[in-house]
Amino acid sequence: MKKAGIPVFLLFVIFLILMLFKNTSKDSKDFDLLCQEFFCREITSNTLNLHYTLAYPENFGIKEYPVTFGSLSQDKEAQWALDAENFMKRLSNISPYKLKEDQRLTYEILWDYLDSQMMDAQLFLYPELLSPSSGIQSQIPILLAEYTFRRKQDIEDYLALIEEMPDYFEEIFRYEKLRSKKGIVMADYTLSKVISQCSDLLADKEEHFLHSTFQRRIESCDFLKDEEKAGYIEKNNYLLSQFFFPAYERLADFSKTLMGKSNRTGGLKDLKKGREYYEYLLQTYTGTKYTAADIKEKLTEQWKKDYNKLSTVMGDPSSFYASLKKQPETLSPEKALLDLQKKMEKDFPSLPPSSFTIKYVDKALEPYSSPAFYLTPPIDDPLSNIIYINKSSSYTGLQHYTTLAHEGYPGHLYQTIFQVNSSLPPIRNLFSYTGYIEGWALYTEMLSYYYADVDPVFASIEQLNHSLTLCLYSMLDVCIHYDGYTLEEAKEFLSTFGKFSDEGITQLYQYIAEEPANYLKYYIGYLEIVRLKEKAQEALQDKFVLKDFHEFLLSIGPAPFSIIEKWQEMWISHILSFFLYLFKKLL
Q: Are 235 and 211 in contact (CB under 8 A)?
A: no
For 126-140, write each residue's pLDDT tens digit: 999 999 989 999 999
Q: Tell me how many domains the chain contains.
A: 3
Mean pLDDT along residues 240-261: 97
DSSP letter at 242 equals I
Question: In three state form, how does the secondary structure of 382-427 look?
Answer: CCCCEEEECCCCCCCHHHHHHHHHHHCCCCHHHHHHHHHHCCCCHH
Q: Does residue 140 share a domain with residue 248?
A: yes
pLDDT band at 94 (very low <50, low <70, confident <90, very high): very high
Is residue 5 very low, low, confident or very high in pLDDT (cuts 50, 70, 90)? very low
- pLDDT band, very low/low/confident/very high, at 186 (cuts 50, 70, 90): very high
- Helices 74-92 and 8-43: crossing angle in degrees, nearest 10, is 170
Last residue of a domain, one of 102, 127, 145: 102
Q: Which burial class, exposed, middle or buried, applies to 178 when counting CB atoms under 10 A from its CB (0-12, 13-18, 19+)?
A: middle
Among 281-295, 355-369, 417-431, 511-525, which is the least confidently predicted range?
355-369
| Cα–Cα dist 506/243, whole Å | 36
Given this model, what pLDDT does residue 75 score?
77
Q: What is the DSSP string of 243-310?
A: IIHHHHHHHHHHHHHHTT----SS-GGGSTTHHHHHHHHHHHHHTS---HHHHHHHHHHHHHHHHHHH
pLDDT level of residue 587 (50, 70, 90 thresholds): low
- Band (pLDDT 50/70/90 cuts) for residue 320 is low
Q: Would 213 be classed as within a structural domain?
A: yes
Q: Band of the pLDDT at 76, cuts 50, 70, 90?
A: confident
The letter for the amino acid at 105 is: L
Range from 157-161, 378-382, 534-538 carrying the lowest mean pLDDT = 378-382
- Whether residues 202 and 65 share a domain: the answer is no
Is residue 161 one of the residues assigned to a domain? yes
Residue that is last in its domain, among 249, 264, 279: 264
Q: Of 516, 546, 564, which residue constitutes the final position of a domain?
A: 516
Q: Please tell me the predicted confidence (pLDDT) of residue 143.
A: 92
Residue 143 lies in a domain: yes
> Domain check: are 71 and 150 in the same one?
no
357 pairs with which residues across the strands?
386
Whether residue 60 is found in the same domain as residue 162 = no
Q: Does the residue 333 lie in any domain? A: no
Between 458 and 315, residue with greater pLDDT: 458
Examine the domain organization and report whether 230 and 299 are in the same domain: no
Q: Are the beta carbons of 361 and 291 closer than 8 angstroms? A: no
Contact (CB, 8 A) for 239 and 162: yes
Per-residue confidence (pLDDT) for residue 562, from 0 to 100: 96
Q: Is residue 228, in this structure, part of any structural domain at all? A: yes
Shared-domain flag, residues 322 and 464: yes
Q: What is the C-alpha separation between 298 and 388, in angstroms, rounded? A: 33
In this predicted structure, the answer to whether residue 578 has a pLDDT above a threshold of 50 is yes
Distance (Å, rounded) from C-alpha 434 to C-alpha 518?
A: 10
The 10s digit of each residue's pLDDT in 45-70 is 999 999 999 999 999 999 999 999 99
Instruction: Tell me the C-alpha distance between 246 and 11, whole Å.
Output: 76
481 lies in some domain: yes
Same domain, 153 and 54: no
Based on the fold, state whether residues 80 and 169 are members of the same structural domain.
Answer: no
| pLDDT classification of 584: cutoffs 50, 70, 90 | low
Mean pLDDT (whole number) for 357-370: 78
**What pLDDT is attached to residue 319?**
60
pLDDT at 19 over 60: no
- Whether 320 maps to a domain, the answer reads yes
- Please write the tens of the pLDDT for every residue from 470-508: 999 999 999 999 999 999 999 999 999 888 999 999 999
Residue 383 lies in a domain: no
pLDDT value of residue 116: 84
Are residues 155 and 258 located together in one domain of the fold? yes
pLDDT of residue 326: 66
- What's the chain's average pLDDT? 90
Whole-number pLDDT of residue 506: 96
310/259 same-domain check: no
Separation between Cα atoms, residue 471 and residue 359, nearest integer Å: 31
| Mean pLDDT computed over 320-326 | 62
pLDDT at 394: 78
Report whether pLDDT(209) > 70: yes
Query: pLDDT tier at 16 (50, 70, 90 boundaries)?
Result: very low
**Do residues 258 and 298 both lie within one domain?**
no
Q: pTM of the entire structure?
A: 0.92
pLDDT in the model for residue 72: 86
- State the residue range of the domain holding 95: 8-102
The answer to whether residue 581 scores a pLDDT higher than 70 is no
Considering the domain architecture, whether residues 193 and 299 belong to the same structural domain is answered as: no
- Name residues whose C-beta falls within 8 Å of residue 263's C-beta, 6 or more positions apart in sequence: 183, 270
